[in-house]
């Protein structure tokens, strides 16, 4: 079992949602925290909720130089890092045909390149001490593809492949890589997304956000608990929520034709 007490934990996207819940739980486990987010207001609120003042950094994870500077700051001020959770993420909801390159590049910069930068900036610390965990947030949309989620799927499938390759490379070392696949989590990602149309054809943001809220059954605190338990128990793949576990089963049973039962499941979850 991996002990978190006394370890240095880094969490991106810590200004709200899963990131904030992770920071709070890791602090309760005895970690020293370095937290980052582009949202300074949310980041300060998270910091204020922790029992001990963390290292706080406003950070755009799509900025490679900024991520490397953050890693250097963590090393300079906290000595090292042990647990690095690349959690920051955004969403775009639009058909492939109508998806702009600007939106595609924006989501890939945060959801994929942000994970790559966070991994590569901190990994040398972990491998040098032969102790640590890289935790990368994919999604159930890194397991199945959904209409209007082509860019999000592209990023989350990429995170999955990247993290699984890293896991194989780290085999037989003291460093591990975990890929996390959350289902519907009660966060503000839908409300703050670049939204144009959802899989059911809804183009009203308010209606779409309400539908997402109906489908999102897992709280950020529950998600954080599952992730931290995965770290402690040496898991390499973490599914969050009953919906994620069900989606995983459906995809395994119907690897090509999963969308028909999945679309019916999504409709039922809205009720």
Contact 261, 267 (CB under 8 A): no
CA distances from 70 to 59, 107, 124, 158 (A): 8, 21, 14, 24
Contact 13, 89 (CB under 8 A): yes
DSSP 225-259: HHHHHHHHTT-SEEEESHHHHHHHHHHHH-TTTTH
- Provide the pairing of β-strand 55-58 with 237-240: unpaired
Which burial class, exposed, middle or buried, applies to 206 when counting CB atoms under 10 A from its CB (0-12, 13-18, 19+)?
Answer: exposed
Is 152 marked active-site? yes
- Provide the pairing of β-strand 175-182 with 132-137: parallel
Q: Which of 68, 101, 117, 152 is catalytic?
A: 152
Q: Which residues are catalytic?
A: 152
């Amino acid at each position: 079992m991996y002990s978190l007490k006394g370890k240095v934990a880094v969490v991106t996207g810590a200004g709200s949602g899963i990131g904030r819940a992770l920071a709070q739980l890791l602090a309760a486990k005895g970690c020293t925290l370095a937290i980052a987010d582009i949202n300074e207001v949310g980041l300060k609120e998270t910091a204020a909720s922790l029992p001990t003042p963390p290292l706080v950094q406003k950070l755009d994870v799509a900025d490679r130089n900024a991520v490397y500077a953050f890693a250097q700051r963590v090393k300079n001020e906290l000595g090292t890092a042990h647990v690095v959770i690349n959690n920051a993420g955004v969403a775009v909801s639009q058909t492939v045909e109508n998806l702009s390159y600007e939106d595609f590049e924006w989501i890939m910069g945060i959801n994929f390149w942000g994970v790559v930068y966070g991994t590569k900036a901190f990994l040398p610390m972990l491998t040098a001490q032969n102790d640590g965990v890289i935790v990368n947030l994919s999604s159930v949309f890194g397991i199945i593809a959904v209409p209007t989620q082509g860019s999000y799927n592209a990023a989350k499938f990429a995170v999955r492949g990247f993290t699984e390759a890293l896991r194989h490379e780290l085999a037989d070392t003291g460093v591990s890589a975990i890929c996390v696949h959350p289902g519907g989590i009660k966060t503000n990602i839908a409300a703050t997304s670049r939204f144009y149309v959802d899989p059911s054809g809804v183009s009203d943001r308010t209606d779409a956000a309400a539908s997402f809220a109906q489908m999102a059954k897992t709280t950020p605190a529950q998600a954080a608990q599952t992730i931290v338990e995965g770290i402690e128990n040496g898991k390499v793949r973490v599914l969050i929520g009953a919906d994620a576990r069900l989606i995983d089963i459906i995809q395994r049973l119907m690897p090509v034709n999963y969308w028909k039962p999945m679309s019916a499941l999504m409709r039922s979850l809205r009720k």
